[in-house]
Structure 1
């Protein structure tokens, strides 16, 4: 269950970053509120997951999900570059996250 919570926490981390972007420097109230809720939810779920998952592994996986999700969302929704080098480095992050999961059991 801790790994499921960690995955959901990572998704909320992506929502946090997207809502921050859409808030335009916290000047748009609804996106500011969404950012606070998503960020708080992400941290709360991470804290629950860390009750069972080692802190280094949990934090690494959580940040990896957030980083990869944010890059992909930027490409899909904000027309950020899809340069092959960027995709290679994103794949390296995914490999690292999967590796951490595999060695943690």
Structure 2
């Protein structure tokens, strides 16, 4: 619901501890899956809605999702690695243009 997620790359994971309210996912097969593709897939509006609905359907004091119950069985549309990288490149280009347009709009508003 709060859309708190991050793609963390190139860190020594032995030096960090994360909150129990955080789920860490790692790509264990870089020959099959592009990590940025996985990130974009899991943070897409469709997946965010899915995870939010899953979290809210659980009983308990606060909405939550777990890897075993909510993430492990998610089926991912997995094109070839080359196609995944192409998709990531296209989405990154669009996102960069959005950032630039927002900066332009902010400057025009001043």
Q: What TM-score, normalized by structure 2, do the two folds share?
A: 0.29
Q: What TM-score, normalized by structure 1, do the two folds share?
A: 0.30
More helix by share: 1
Higher RCO (CA-CA < 8 Å; seq separation 6+): 1
